[in-house]
Structure 1
């Protein structure tokens, strides 16, 4: 199917040293409403291409001074003219000549004497390809602008909101530590606890959003260094102990004394933090969470196991895919964005590891990631 085009929007250069051929082609193409420019030799053609930027070139092969193959070769070496399609007009029809024409960058051949209908169809086909390419380039440019705008918006939102939400989070943390229910009553204490947890979740979302945006636009680089993985994991567990205590959840660790890995400290902390946050979210009141670290070959593997609500098989298929962007609610109706695990997957892969999980609905989940050991 030939794409519908408007011929007047396209410029065709005719190159032939025989004046009668040039005039005939010019009449035919002008009648079809194409814009037409002409050249009577190879050198003039090269000069016109630089000045006029035609959309298609009809190029005679047998010309003095510089033949059509030489002209095509010259144009294809120049990045600014290399994409202009070329149709060779030639009485040569032997296989070696045809092969040579394609080797120097020709897009099609029309044999002399040519048939008018065939000529118009072949020209229209090449112009249709040019038109399609223009649409693709325009849409690609528009898409890039949209993506840049989106990423800028995400970055501004996350960056500008992170600081004030962080301040609110600190104030609420202080209040909940210094105002027990015996002082303010059970109802007010419960409201304060909910506000504290909500602020923690919002801060975590903004932090993930900022890091995800930086990662996607290439502004977040992996800073490789030797990391004591056990110390890192236990540090995150200590931070989350209070959050877990709000649901009377115990975080237990089964780890060796020391494992040194090679990766990015901040990225590894983010992954462990998200794993524990999700485990708490999807665990029932009074449950236990197990964090373990083991060595498998030349990789260290961190596992975070919960005994909570688990994930059904259909939802598991959607969990780590950006196109589905799956999220769900925790056991206390804690709302998730689905962004955390996508960020974790990205960070783990950037550090040369893998992220994976096993889950059974109603029994719990184990999320794991690997990171290379120090060599």
Structure 2
């Protein structure tokens, strides 16, 4: 017991245990207040966390960018609404599926390297690959990703964002193609003006020179000399006429102004009708032309274009065949097309010039075995006409061993 004096100066006894109990009660009351305050702070923090979490979920789900959360084995842990849309699959069918199932086989190794670098570097990484959706549509994407620091249940995860740039890539390809076509068009125009300036000028100079000489010297020339000059004039005029015709055809097809009317044709008939015109020049060089094409062989083509191709290829072989040479025309039937070949035993072509034969911007033209001149337009025209009719054309040749021109055209 302890003596104490009250406010009136009187002494009284106090139980020591009661005083200690009061102190403990006061301390507990203080701790209770502190705990209630801490609990209130925790409730507020939890509420704010819930708001923040809901805000994150809303931003994640409704983001315009497709987001995926993947583990190290590419298993989809989480996906937002637009992530579902790009594959056209609902969310519950995407969760726990392997993301690599939506990547074409040849792209999967690259994606694996990308995911591995995410977890190793813990820095933002980017890769460009193709994806494939449920409808087997392939599209080009850029994937950006980063490893997540706070893993759940000891599962290491990463988050990736997908940016579909298929339309952008298509636009870039379209732009590149347009630029290429524009360059080809400009090159073709340059070639066209070059022909007008040079190729037409030379024969006209020859014509002017010959006619000027004939006008001045006609009285002193005998009939054989006049005949020789007239033959030369005639050959020059034919060359000019052929050049102008080829230029006209080329400009018409470039401007899509040429009439295109594909029909079923007899290959043999078109060859024979051309041979009637070509045979005279072939006989002058004692060249034998053998047509081995069966009358039953037919192709689908515009008749005017087909005639010009046959005419150009046969006259080309006549031009570069020696006296006493031989030209053989054959055709073989494939599943859905006919292959026609015109082979000669002429001078042949150096392999380094083969790629230039069908290109109008860098034409290859040399004199024939008897000095026959070409325009450099015949073979590019053949290529344009064959491709217009759904076929292709090529040549095999070695210098001094002749040439073999072949082309295909559809049966129907």
TM-score, length-scaled by structure 1: 0.50
Task: Say yes or no: does 1:286 pair with 2:286.
Answer: no
2:264–2:298 Cα contact (<8 Å) kept: yes
Q: Name 1:244's counterpart in structure 2.
A: 282
Change (3 A) 1:147 1:262: closer
Shift of 1:199: 2.5
Q: Name 1:297's counterpart in structure 2.
A: 335
Structure 1: distance between partners of 2:249 and 2:345: 29
Change (3 A) 1:257 1:201: same
Task: Say yes or no: does 1:212 pair with 2:250.
Answer: yes
Task: Say yes or no: does 1:318 pair with 2:356.
Answer: yes
1:154–1:210 Cα contact (<8 Å) kept: no
Q: Name 2:380's counterpart in structure 1.
A: 342
Structure 2: distance between partners of 1:197 and 1:283: 19
2:360–2:376 Cα contact (<8 Å) kept: no
Change (3 A) 1:269 1:308: same
Q: Name 1:228's counterpart in structure 2.
A: 266
Structure 1 unaligned residues grouped into runs of 5+? 1-93, 101-136, 159-164, 166-183
Q: Which of the residues 343, 360, 371 maps onto 1:333?
A: 371
Q: Name 1:195's counterpart in structure 2.
A: 233
Structure 1: distance between partners of 2:235 and 2:343: 22
Alignment of 1:51-62 (within 5 A): none
Shift of 1:216: 0.7
Task: Say yes or no: does 1:308 pair with 2:346.
Answer: yes
For 1:308, what is the secondary structure of its paired residue?
coil
Alignment of 1:1-375 (within 5 A): 187-374=225-412
Shift of 1:190: 4.3
Structure 1: distance between partners of 2:283 and 2:227: 15
Cα deviation code 1:108-145 (max 9, x no counterpart): xxxxxxxxxxxxxxxxxxxxxxxxxxxxx9xx99x98x
Structure 1: distance between partners of 2:231 and 2:409: 36
Shift of 1:286: 2.8
Structure 2: distance between partners of 1:213 and 1:229: 27
Shift of 1:244: 1.8
For 1:261, what is the secondary structure of its paired residue?
strand
Cα deviation code 1:306-345 (max 9, x no counterpart): 2111101111132223342222221122222211111100
Shift of 1:272: 0.5
1:279–1:306 Cα contact (<8 Å) kept: yes
For 1:305, what is the secondary structure of its paired residue?
strand
Structure 1: distance between partners of 2:192 and 2:362: 19
Change (3 A) 1:264 1:239: same
2:346–2:400 Cα contact (<8 Å) kept: yes
1:224–1:264 Cα contact (<8 Å) kept: yes
Larger C-alpha radius of gyration, 1 or 2? 2
Shift of 1:187: 5.0
For 1:320, what is the secondary structure of its paired residue?
coil
Change (3 A) 1:306 1:185: farther
1:249–1:287 Cα contact (<8 Å) kept: yes
Structure 2: distance between partners of 1:234 and 1:337: 25
Q: CA RMSD in A?
A: 3.8
Structure 1: distance between partners of 2:227 and 2:403: 31
2:267–2:295 Cα contact (<8 Å) kept: no
Cα deviation code 1:12-33 (max 9, x no counterpart): xxxxxxxxxxxxxxxxxxxxxx
Structure 1: distance between partners of 2:334 and 2:223: 51
